[in-house]
Amino acid sequence: QVQLQESGPGLVKPSETLSLTCTVSGYAISSGYYWGWIRQPPGKGLEWIGSIYHTGSTYYNTSLKSRVSISADTSKNQFSLKLSSVTAADTAVYYCARSPYYWNCYFDYWGQGTLVTVSS
Amino acid sequence: DIVMTQSPDSLAVSLGEGATINCKSSQSVLHSSNNRNYLAWYQQKPGQPPKLLAYWASTRESGVPDRFSGSGSGTDFTLTISSLQAEDVAIYYCQQYYSAPTFGGGTKVEIK
C-alpha cells in the first residue's frame, strides 16, 4: 500500500522560504511514476504546484515557477518542495501526491496534508 | 491554462435521491490521439485529502461504489451520484490533465 507523508515547519515568516518533504512508503520513487505537490488555501480550492519524475525532471505551475523548486532524494525515498519569498497568500494545506503515466495526470495517492501558515 | 468551472457551487439532496455535478472546461480535454478525455473527479471530506473517484472521465477508481458515475466528453462533464448516502457528504472537484493540471472550484454536497 503506497503511503505519503508530508513534513516540515507549520509556520513560515513572510519573505522566507517554505520547505516541505514528502516521505513515500510502500513504493520506491526510483521505480517510476511522477510525484507532485498540490496546495489548498483554507476554505478554497486546489492548485497544482509542480511535479518531479524519479530521473529528476521537473514540471512547474507557470504562475509559481519563479519561486518553486522540487527535488528528489531516491536514497531516502523522499521528494521535497521549496517555495521562496512567501507571503500570506501562500498560507495553505500542502499535499504531496502521486501521478501515474504522465507529469500532468490525475493523482491516485495523496498524503494527509500539512498546514503551512505564513505569518510574522 | 485550462479553466475548469463547476456547477452548482452547492446542492442539498435527500438521502436516496440522485445528485448531479457539472464540470465545464474552457477548451476540449479530449485527446485525438487516443480518444480519451483527460478529466478526473475527486471527493474531499472535511480534514481529509481529496480521494480519486474517477479518471478518463468515466473510469471508476478501484473500490469506489458504483453509485458514482462520470460521463461527458470534450468540454462538458458530469458526476452523478445515483442514490445519495450519508457518507457522500463532501466537496467534489473535477480536474483536467490535458495540460498542466487545473481543478474546478468544487461543489459541496449536503443532505436535505
Query: Percentage of residues in chain B with pLDDT exceeding 90?
Result: 100
| Residue-averaged pLDDT of chain A | 96
pLDDT tens per residue across span A16-28: 999 999 999 999 9
Q: Label each residue of B18-65 as H, E or C.
A: CEEEEEEECCCCEECCCCEECEEEEEECCCCCCEEEEECCCEECCCCC
CB-nearest to A48 from B38, B101, B104 is B101
pLDDT at B81: 98
Q: What are the cell numbers at A55?
A: 530521473
Q: What are the cell numbers at B37?
A: 478525455
Please report, for residues A90, A98, A116, B43, the alpha-carbon distance to residue A68 in angstroms, rounded to integers and kept in the order given: 12, 18, 15, 27
Q: Is the pLDDT of residue A54 over 90?
A: no
Closest by CA position to A64, among listed A80, A43, A85: A85
Those residues with Cβ within 8 angstroms of residue A9's Cβ, 6 or more apart along the chain or in another chain: A18, A19, A116
pLDDT tens per residue across span B54-87: 999 999 999 999 999 999 999 999 999 999 999 9
Q: Is the pLDDT of residue B25 over 90?
A: yes
Cβ within 8 Å, pair A102-B97: yes
Q: Mean of the pLDDT values across residues B89-99?
A: 98
pLDDT at A103: 85
pLDDT tens per residue across span A56-110: 999 999 999 999 999 999 999 999 999 999 999 999 999 999 999 888 899 999 9
Determine the Cα–Cα distance for residues A4 and B86; give it in Å rounded to an integer.
28
Q: Mean of the pLDDT values across residues B93-109?
A: 98
| Residue-averaged pLDDT of chain B | 98
SS3 content of chain B, % helix, strand, coil (to 5): 5, 50, 45
Question: Which chain B residue lies closest to A102 (C-alpha atoms)?
Answer: B97
Residue B97 CB neighbour total at 10 angstroms: 24
Q: What are the cell numbers at A82?
A: 521549496
Cβ within 8 Å, pair B49-A95: yes
Question: Which chain A residue lies closest to B60 (C-alpha atoms)?
Answer: A108
DSSP string, A6-37: EES-SEE-TTS-EEEEEEEESS-GGGS-EEEE
Q: Is the pLDDT of residue B100 over 90?
A: yes
The answer to whether residue A105 neighbours chain B at the CB level (below 8 Å) is yes
